[in-house]
Chain A
Amino acid sequence: MGSATPMPMPNPTPVGTDTERGFKKAILRLVKGGPERLAIEAGQIDSIIDPASGHAILLPGAQRALIERKVGFRSLIGLAFDWYWEQDERYRFVSYRSATDEAAVFGEMGLIGKALWDLEIDNISDEDWRTHRQQLEWRIAFRELEVRREDGAGEVQYLSMSGEPIFDEHGRFKGYRGVTRDITERKLAQAMRQEPAGLANTMLNALGAAVGVLDQAGTMLASNQAWRALAATDPNIGGSAAEGTNFLEECEDAGVDERVDGVTIAAGVRQVIAGTRTLFQYDYACDSAKGRRWFALRATRVADHTAARVVISREDITERKHTELLLGLEIAVMRSLADAQSASEAIRSVIRIVCEMQGWDYGRYFRIDRSAGVLRYHDSWGIPTAAVNQFLDQSRGLVFSPDAGLNGRVFQSGQPLWVCGGTPDAGLSPMALAPETGRDGAFLFPVTSQDGIAGVLAFSGRNMREPDDRMLQTVHAIGNQLGRSLVRQQAQDALRRSEMRFRDLNELACDWYWEQDSEFRFTQIVGCSPFGAAEFLGMTHWDLPGVILTDAKWADHKSQLDARWSFCDFEFATVDAEGKHAYYSICGQPLYGEAGVFSGYCGTGLDITKRKLAELALRESEARGRA
């Protein structure tokens, strides 16, 4: 059997009414009862050849199968490549079509009318282009030509292109056609696999913490971008160590202020290198142009099959430390206020704590004189230097009216105010500020109570910086706490003064004060009593030696005590070893606990010897007169 001669192609999937008509006609032509007709009826036939048209007419089952096959084929094509393209005889792209509905990448390249080498492809050298063009000139099919480009967003894309020449029916070259696949994911994955070091670097650079790797001598082997950035902005203890330099030496060469931290860090890292510890952690502070900054250093030992390494990580923890310090300041202020015995002590204590914890030189408190409507200097604390003492001495007697100077402005506005680095606020000259800021900056905030502003706290020092929100929150809390404490202290001071006055008056009225327990035993005797010695504590009144009183009077007194009555002018006499008499009068009242339980007696005593002796002398004189 010879092979068939190619013929014009029939329509493989005739549809519509013409098809149906043709199909029926073809069926009718078949001999009834013939094998073809029987096979059709048995469902074993795919198509009927129409002798009139020469077309093969598909039966429904075959039509469906063909359609399904086409769809499946298209799907498989989509798996095989992403784009189909054609070029003209000058190798310019004239058409392209995506195998799927996705991926517009190929179109974004703007390739229509351009040759491949006109596109922005960055991985093929001029030499390689020449070779490729030579292949095209020779009309050779090319396979898997990999090109790399970056899109507008800087994303790298890898494309694999294959093509073959096309010719017309006369054998004339018409151009190329081919397919392209996006192989970006595969290429990137390959790159990652082939370059573990590159992957490690990428991961290292992705870390927010500054990370450096040391060898056993402390030499910096590698560092990430964060380390290098930190070295540029904050070259603190060991932080300026670059690759190839010795981290440990840099730490030990730290400036005077940072020497202790530098030496400590170097010693800790050496221990990690030696393997005597697996982890070294250290928090330290450094002064920089941006102010005081805190860092958390962590050194970890890692060992592989070649040699041990130490990974150093440094993290800027300034914000966290700052918050911790301010919280500590608030707590310290609260404790000092709780311990303060007077308003002045509270003020000085708060000023001292704030100065010490913030590194400021001195602070002053200006109290509001409501009657005069001005702020008056009240108290201060400063570091013990001559300059500070002199400045604080000059502050005594200072008075600010509202809106006068910084203090007056805080007094009037009720808001914190600051002057940093000697730069005065707008509208105030440095000369005008000198009495308020001293040599450096100043930070002022109101002290508030329920009645409004109670005063202004004004601090000065060299380390004055513009406060952040957390600092303002802290000074607001301190101002409130101090204000409330002052109100409480002032009330306590008034009470204390009142008690003092009462005691003074009491001392004028009596000679001693005494207390007894519920069994009438002395527990306390204060003042000039005839029983001042401690050995008499624990005795009852009637047990005391040398007391002269009749039994009837004792019985009367005891019955009063048992009845829990108050008593007054209970007089008795004592006689000492020399037989000398003294006379006393005592008053007392029962004491009750919080639950109303009787707990004893308290009272006062008065030496009435002079009066008694005078009375006795008078009586004797009267008796002599009558005689």
Chain B
Amino acid sequence: MSVRSRIFSAMQQIAEEQKVTLPPLQDDLSLHETGFDSLAFAILVARLEDDLGVDPFTVADDAAFPSTVGEFVRAYENVPA
């Protein structure tokens, strides 16, 4: 399963748990529009770290936090595994 599909699958799982209705996930969707609050993103980042072995937002001190789904996915794709 690709990094992208793992991220989307984790997001769908969390959306279900948090009773959030996710709009269709696409690159230009802003993270704000996903309906995730900061707690949901914190959960997402923690679970992805367990799944993918990396937390791109902690690895680099200067990591800019992404503002769209596409940027979020790329943050994971760009980290050397």
* Mutual binders A and B: no
Interface residues of B (CB under 8 A from A): none
Interface residues of A (CB under 8 A from B): none
